[in-house]
Amino acid sequence: MRKDRRQDLTRGDAAIRRAFIYSVGVIALAGLAAAVIYWVQRAPEPSAPIQEADVQTPRLEETPAADDPPAVRFTDVTEAAGVDFVHVNGAYGERLMPEAIGSGAAFFDYDKDGDQDLFLSNSRYWEGHEQGAEQPRQVLYRNDGKGNFANVTEEAGLALTSYGMGVAVADYDGDGWRDLFLTSLNENRLFRNENGQFRDVTADAGVAGGEDTWSASAAFFDYDKDGDLDLFVVNYVKWSREIDLEIDFRLTGLGRAYGAPVNFVGTNSYLYRNEGDGRFTDVSASAGIPVSDPVSGHPVGKGLGVVPIDYDRDGWLDLIIVNDTVRNFLFRNKGDGSFEEVAIFEGIAYDRNGKATSAMGVDAAYFRDDRELGIAVGNFANEMASLFVTTDGRAPFVDEAVLEGLGPASRIPLTFGLLFLDYDLDGRLDLLLANGHLEHEIHKVQQSQHHAQPPSLFWNCGEACRGRFVPVTDAGDMAEPLVGRGIAYADVDGDSDLDVLITQNGRRPALLRNEQQTGHHWLRLKLEGLPPNTDAIGARLELTAGGVTRFREVMPTRGYLSQVELPVTFGLGTADKVDRLRIVWPDGSEQELVPEAMDTTLVIEQGAIRAQ
């Protein structure tokens, strides 16, 4: 039951002894401050008043959709496609928390051959518990363009053993090759892509983080609009095996269980500024990223998911961080190199009842094809997913999960990753949730729960249905139970629709080929920005077709621990032409064009266009 993880309800409801170490630091520093009270600094400057934009919501001329999801099936082609990866969480019986959390995946074109390759993050056996097995490694698969994958880990230089968690991909150095950042239970790693060969540049770049810092999702984005991509790393809880065993979390009915994060001290996330010369500087403190509990002084954050988006449309990318058992964060980019945490005021910190959820994954999109931004959050079992939606195009957000059909259907599953994607190319963004419990035998005490749970696919019905998101019950292999964690999508087989990969904890992933035959038109867009942000991460696109304007962003960091492909797919439904395409590049420059072709991939250079 959800209660097992919530504050106020467990025997182990406490922070941890060893986390006292942190307190000692705090205590010591506080003591020093007392000793030299004349350190007293000038009073903080008052925060700038919030500018509330007056946004006119455009009137939709969309034809109401039928209220039945289209017959689209997904086929599990994992093995046939050559993906033989198996996630190793190292579980040996002590139920150590990291075993249940990983891991992520990324679709990206590492070799610049035009198709989407696949990186899968792996964890490892715990020291002393290898049981004779070889330690697993991270895995990179090269796509042949038709959805067949070959393991190229060794030759690409990524044969690394690590207790890996998440992955972020971007061309951070502007050389046109996409680099890879791997988060882990210990030090994180940055791999520079040098013509298809990866080199570990972590030390030089200065992005390893703490040896004992558990990092989860990560995102490359340009927070200071200096043209290059900075790096945000979400950190989870302060964990060690000793802490975990000392807390000895137990679920009534099961005994020893995977520890609830409420028992662990939180952490602060990292913001690294790209210095443009291969080095990054940790600017977390000066940028206002640390969030501390006013009573204990401990960090509040227990983050798992992140998505950068300009929620207030001021031209600066903000950050949404979702936290497990504590309030979510919304870091509003103030445009001066710093952020202000405003989640409570803007309405995404808590659920409808004002309670913090066990949030895992997050995505944001204009799913109504109007000016209303939606932020979807995957939560724990017995917590419905959240769907925070703006009011008249601006904050505050209101959690509309129950109104839009997402709430009731997502109440029982334990959701990790979730993504907006247009799987049937009708133009509207649908929702996919990856589900799976932590506990193998949870069904023994919670009859509605199982370790493996089917993903939840919701079709966006538009205005025609009482709830916009309609559960899809017949999606082929998508209905098979999985111990789902991260989700990534890409058109892996070049047939234009979005295929999906769902990672499983302690199991193989599921590569689900989209078999849609709707006949819907589509347009895929690959943006080529000016160096150093060669993939134009952070660009906004507005495409008008059939009287509807749809909004998308170039942002591969979505969901949970994972990255989706960089090209943006617009489903066009039955529209027979595109009326207008407007691009706002990351530097703020705008480009407007009328694509003449449909059902194709357009490569758009900043200032030019060509068909692929």
Partner 1 sequence: MTRYVSLRAALVLWLATGSVQVQADALSEPPERWQGTLVPVAEVDISGAERLMQQAIAEARAEIAGLLESPNADPASLAGAYGRLGALFLLVDVEAQGDACFRTAGELEPKEFRWPYYAGHLAMVAGNTEQALTYLESARELDPEYPTLYLRLGKVQLDRGELAEARAALEKIADTPGLIAAANYYLGQIANLERRFEDAVARLKKALEADPNATGVHYPLAQAYRALGKNELAREHLGRFEAKSPEAEDPLLEQLQEASRRSLPAFHKGIHAIRQGKYATAAERFAEGLAVDPDNVPARVSYARALYLSGRAEEAGEELARALAANPNELLANFLQGVLLQQQAKPDRAADYYRRSLSVDPGYAGALFYLANLDFNAGRYREAAAGYAKALAADREIAPARLLELIARLRAGEPEADIAKRLTDLSAQYPEDPMLRYAMSRLLAAAADSSLRAPEQALQIASQLTLLQPIPPHQRALALAQAATGRFEEAAQTQRQAIAMAAWMAPPGERAVMQAELDAYERGELPEPAWPEGAPLLSPPPFDPVAPFRDYPAAVPY
Q: Which of residues 366-395 bind partner 1 (CB under 8 A)?
A: 381-384, 391, 395
Least gap, CB of 15 to partner 1 (angstroms): 3
**Using the rule CB under 8 A, is 354 a contact of partner 1?**
yes
Q: Which of residues 464-523 bind partner 1 (CB under 8 A)?
A: 467
Determine which residue in the list 407, 427, 556, 571 makes contact with partner 1, applying CB under 8 A. 407
Q: Which of residues 431-450 bind partner 1 (CB under 8 A)?
A: 443-448
603-607: list long-range contacts, CB under 8 Å, 24+ apart: 603/526, 603/528, 604/525, 604/526, 604/527, 604/528, 605/528, 606/527, 606/528, 606/529, 606/530, 606/536
Least gap, CB of 428 to partner 1 (angstroms): 19
Using CB under 8 A, count the residues that bind partner 1.
92
Query: What distance in Å separates the CA atoms of residue 215 and residue 292, rounded to the nearest whole number?
Result: 18
Determine which residue in the list 160, 208, 398, 452 makes contact with partner 1, applying CB under 8 A. 398
**Using the rule CB under 8 A, is 241 a contact of partner 1?**
no
The burial class, CB within 10 Å (0-12 / 13-18 / 19+), for 57 is exposed
Query: What distance in Å separates the CA atoms of residue 319 and residue 309, rounded to the nearest whole number?
Result: 6
Least gap, CB of 210 to partner 1 (angstroms): 8
- If the CB atoms of residues 446 and 504 are measured against partner 1, the closer one turns out to be 446
- If the CB atoms of residues 58 and 145 are measured against partner 1, the closer one turns out to be 58
Task: Provide the residue type at 314 as one letter.
Answer: D
* Contact window for partner 1 (CB under 8 A) among 87-95, 225-233, 340-348, 576-584: 340-348
**Using the rule CB under 8 A, is 345 a contact of partner 1?**
yes
**Using the rule CB under 8 A, is 38 a contact of partner 1?**
yes
Question: Given CA atoms 505, 511, 517, 518 in this order, what sign does their dihedral have?
Answer: positive
- If the CB atoms of residues 467 and 538 are measured against partner 1, the closer one turns out to be 467
Q: Which of residues 41-70 bind partner 1 (CB under 8 A)?
A: 41, 50, 52
Instruction: Specify the residue for token string 């390759």.
Output: 117
**Using the rule CB under 8 A, is 18 a contact of partner 1?**
yes
**Using the rule CB under 8 A, is 590 a contact of partner 1?**
no
Query: Which residue from 441, 565, 515, 592 is spatially nearest to 106, judged by alpha carbons?
Result: 565
DSSP for residue 409 = H
The burial class, CB within 10 Å (0-12 / 13-18 / 19+), for 210 is middle
Least gap, CB of 21 to partner 1 (angstroms): 4
β-strands 499-504, 557-558 pairing: unpaired
426: left (phi over 0), alpha (psi -120 to 50) or beta: alpha
Residue 345 host element (H or E) = helix 343-346
* Contact window for partner 1 (CB under 8 A) among 104-112, 165-173, 187-195, 400-408: 400-408
Determine which residue in the list 255, 473, 519, 588 makes contact with partner 1, applying CB under 8 A. 255
Determine which residue in the list 145, 315, 408, 547 makes contact with partner 1, applying CB under 8 A. 408
**Using the rule CB under 8 A, is 86 a contact of partner 1?**
no
**Using the rule CB under 8 A, is 250 a contact of partner 1?**
yes
β-strands 600-605, 521-528 pairing: parallel
Residues near 51 by beta carbon (within 8 Å), at least 6 away in sequence:
312, 314
